[in-house]
Amino acid sequence: MKRYVYINDDESSHELYCDNRISNRKYTVLNFLPKNLWEQFSRFMNQYFLLIACLQLWSLITPVNPASTWGPLIFIFAVSASKEAWDDYNRYLSDKKANEKLVWVVRQGIRKHIQAQDIHVGNIVWLRENDEVPCDLVLIGTSDPQGLCYVETSALDGETDLKTRLIPTACMGIDFELLHKIKGVIECPNPDKDIRRFDANLRLFPPFIDNDVCPLTIKNTILQSCYLRNTEWACGVAIYTGNETKLGMSRGIPEPKLTAMDAMIDKLTGAIFVFQIVVVMVLGIAGNVWKDTEARKQWYVLYPLEGPWYELLVIPLRFELLCSIMIPISIKVSLDLVKSLYAKFIDWDSEMIDYETGIPSHATNTAISEDLGQVEYIMTDKTGTLTENRMIFRRCCISGVFYGNESGDALKDTRLLSAVAGCSTDVVQFLTVMAICNTVIPIKSKTGAILYKAQSQDEDALVNAAAQLHMVYVNKNANTLEIRFNSSVIKYEVLETLEFTSDRKRMSVVVKDCQNGKIVLLSKGADEAILPYAYDGQQTRTFIEAVEQYAQLGLRTLCLAWRELTEDEYQEWSLMFKEASSTLIDREWRIAEVCTRLEHDFEVLGVTAIEDRLQDGVPETIETLRKAGINFWMLTGDKQNTAIQIALSCNFISPEPKGQLLLIDGKTEDEVCRSLERVLLTMRITSSEPKDVAFAVDGWALEIALKHYRKAFTELAILSRTAICCRVTPSQKAQLVELLKSCDYRTLAIGDGGNDVRMIQQADIGVGISGREGLQAARAADYSIGKFRFLKRLILVHGRYSYNRTAFLSQYSFYKSLVICFIQIFFSFISGVSGTSLFNSVSLMAYNVFYTSVPVLASVLDKDLSEGTVMQHPQILFYCQAGRLLNPSTFAGWFGRSLFHAIVVFVITIHAYAYEKSEMEELSMVALSGCIWLQAFVVALETNSFTIVQHLAIWGNLVAFYVINWIFSAIPASGMYTIMFRLCRQPSYWITMFLIVAAGMGPVLALKYFRYTYRPSKINTLQQAERMGGPILTLGNIEPQQRSIEKEVSPLSISQPKSRSPTPVYEPLLSDSPNSSRRSLGSRSSSSYSRNCKDN
Give the residue numbers annotated as catalytic, written as ranges: 381
Instruction: Check the annotation: does 578 bind a ligand.
Output: no
- Helix, strand, or coil here: 216? strand
Rule CB under 8 A: say whether 944 interacts with other proteins: yes
- On whether the CB atoms of residues 580 and 594 are closer than 8 A, the answer is yes
Residues 1041-1070 touching other proteins, rule: CB under 8 A, are 1059-1061, 1065-1066, 1068-1069
- For 586, other C-beta atoms within 10 Å of its C-beta total 12
Site for other proteins in 686-725 (CB under 8 A): 690
Q: Does 778 contact other proteins by CB under 8 A? A: no
Enumerate residues 6+ apart whose C-beta is below 8 A from 507: 437, 438, 439, 497, 498, 499, 500, 523, 524, 525
Annotated binding-site residue? 257: no
Angle ∠(600,606,607) on CA atoms, nearest 5: 105
Amino acid at 691: K
Asked if 342 contacts 83 with a C-beta cutoff of 8 angstroms, the reply is no
Distance CA 750, CA 1021 (A): 33
**Nearest CA-CA partner of 239 in 190, 285, 203, 281:** 190
472 by Cβ neighbours in 10 Å (0-12 / 13-18 / 19+) ranks as buried
- Scan residues 575-614 and list those touching other proteins (CB under 8 A): none
Query: Contact at 8 Å (CB) between 396 and 430?
Result: yes
* Binds other proteins (CB under 8 A): choice among 294, 564, 586, 593: 294
User: Interface with other proteins includes 830 (CB under 8 A)?
Assistant: yes
Taking CB under 8 A as the binding criterion, the range among 23-31, 524-532, 569-577, 1085-1093 that sits at the site for other proteins is 1085-1093
Least separation, in Å, of the C-beta of 955 and other proteins?
14
**Residues of this chain, 25-64, that bind other proteins according to CB under 8 A:** 63
Q: Is 376 annotated as a binding residue?
A: no
Cis peptide before 145 (omega within 30 of 0): no
Known binding residue 193? Answer is no
Binding flag, residue 88, other proteins (CB under 8 A): no
DSSP letter string, 668-707: SHHHHHHHHHHHHHHHHHHTTSS-EEEEEEEHHHHHHHHH
Round to whole Å and give the CA distance between 874 and 631: 13
Residues in Cβ contact with 548 at an 8 Å cutoff, skipping those fewer than 6 apart: 641
Residue 1081 binds to other proteins (criterion: CB under 8 A): yes
280 belongs to the binding site for other proteins (CB under 8 A): no
Contact between 93 and other proteins (CB under 8 A)? no
Distance CA 438, CA 435 (A): 7
For other proteins, the closer CB: 18 or 1004: 1004
- Give the span between the Cα atoms of 236 and 403, in whole angstroms: 49
User: CB within 8 A of 351, min separation 6: which ones?
Assistant: 793, 1065, 1066
637 in a known ligand binding site: yes
The CA R_g of the chain, rounded to the nearest whole Å, is 36
Give the one residue of 358, 448, 517, 1057 binding other proteins; rule: CB under 8 A.
Answer: 358
Q: Count other Cβ atoms within 10 Å, centred on residue 516.
A: 6
User: Considering the rule CB under 8 A, would residue 300 count as an interface residue with other proteins?
Assistant: yes
Question: Closest separation between CB of residue 992 and other proteins, Å?
Answer: 7
- Nearest CB to other proteins, comparing residues 107 and 863: 863
Give whichever of 474 and 1025 is closer to other proteins, judged by the CB atom: 1025
Q: How far is the CB of 726 from other proteins (least distance, A)?
A: 29
Q: Which of 295, 622, 643, 775 binds other proteins (CB under 8 A)?
A: 295
The length of the chain in residues reads 1096
* Contact flag: residue 160 with other proteins (CB under 8 A): no
Contacts (CB under 8 A) with other proteins, residues 178-207: none
Q: Which of 347, 482, 569, 1046 binds other proteins (CB under 8 A)?
A: 347
Residues 6+ apart with CB under 8 A from 793: 349, 351, 352, 867, 1066
Closer to other proteins by Cβ: residue 164 or 364: 364
- Nearer to other proteins by Cβ, of 181 and 1008: the residue is 1008
Instruction: Single out the residue of 900, 800, 812, 801 nearest to residue 851, CA to CA.
Output: 812
Tell me the C-alpha distance between 875 and 1018, whole Å: 9
- Verify binding: residue 1089, other proteins, rule CB under 8 A: yes
Choices 77-85, 466-474, 774-782, 1081-1089 (CB under 8 A): range interacting with other proteins: 1081-1089
Three-state DSSP class for 501? coil
Q: What's the CA gap between 146 and 566, in Å, rounded?
A: 27
Least Cβ distance, residue 522 to other proteins (angstroms): 39
- Out of 660, 813, 817, 924, name the contact with other proteins by CB under 8 A: 924
Based on the shown chain and the rule CB under 8 A, indicate whether residue 304 belongs to the binding site for other proteins.
Answer: yes
Under rule CB under 8 A, residue 338 binds other proteins: no
- Shortest CB 590 distance to other proteins, Å: 46
Interface residues for other proteins in 845-884 (CB under 8 A)?
Answer: 861, 863, 866-869, 873, 875
Residue 771 vs residues 228, 241, 617, 781, 1091: alpha-carbon distances, Å: 23, 31, 16, 13, 34
Of residues 399 through 438, those in contact with other proteins by CB under 8 A are none
Q: Which of 866, 799, 859, 734 is nearest to 361 (CA)?
A: 799
Residue 947 beta carbon to other proteins: minimum distance, rounded to whole angstroms: 4
Q: DSSP for 57-101?
A: TSTTT-SS-THHHHHHHHHHHHHHHHHHHHHHHHHHHHHHHHHT-
From 477, 918, 1053, 1055, residue interacting with other proteins (rule: CB under 8 A) = 918
CA atoms within 13 A on the CB side of 176: 7
To the nearest whole angstrom, how small is the minimum distance from the Cβ of residue 995 to other proteins?
A: 6
Tell me which of 364, 581, 583, 834 binds other proteins, using CB under 8 A: 834
Of 337, 368, 335, the residue nearest 812 (C-alpha): 335
Asked whether position 1072 contacts other proteins by CB under 8 A, the answer is: no
Residue 914 contacts other proteins per CB under 8 A = yes
The distance of closest approach from Cβ of residue 836 to other proteins in the complex, given in angstroms and rounded to an integer, is 4
- Asked if residues 795 and 370 have their Cβ atoms less than 8 Å apart, the reply is no
Number of residues that bind other proteins (CB under 8 A): 115
| Closest CB 817 distance from other proteins, rounded Å | 22
Q: Which of 662, 27, 17, 772 is nearest to 354 (CA)?
A: 772
> Counting contacts by CB under 8 A, is residue 1082 touching other proteins?
yes
Q: Which of residues 973-1032 bind other proteins (CB under 8 A)?
A: 977-978, 986-988, 991-992, 994-995, 998-999, 1002, 1005-1006, 1008-1009, 1012-1014, 1016, 1018, 1021-1032
Does 10 belong to an annotated binding site?
no
- Binding site, residues? 381-383, 459, 500, 524, 556, 636-638, 727, 733, 752, 755-756
- Binding site for ATP, residues? 381-383, 459, 500, 524, 556, 636-638, 727, 733, 755-756
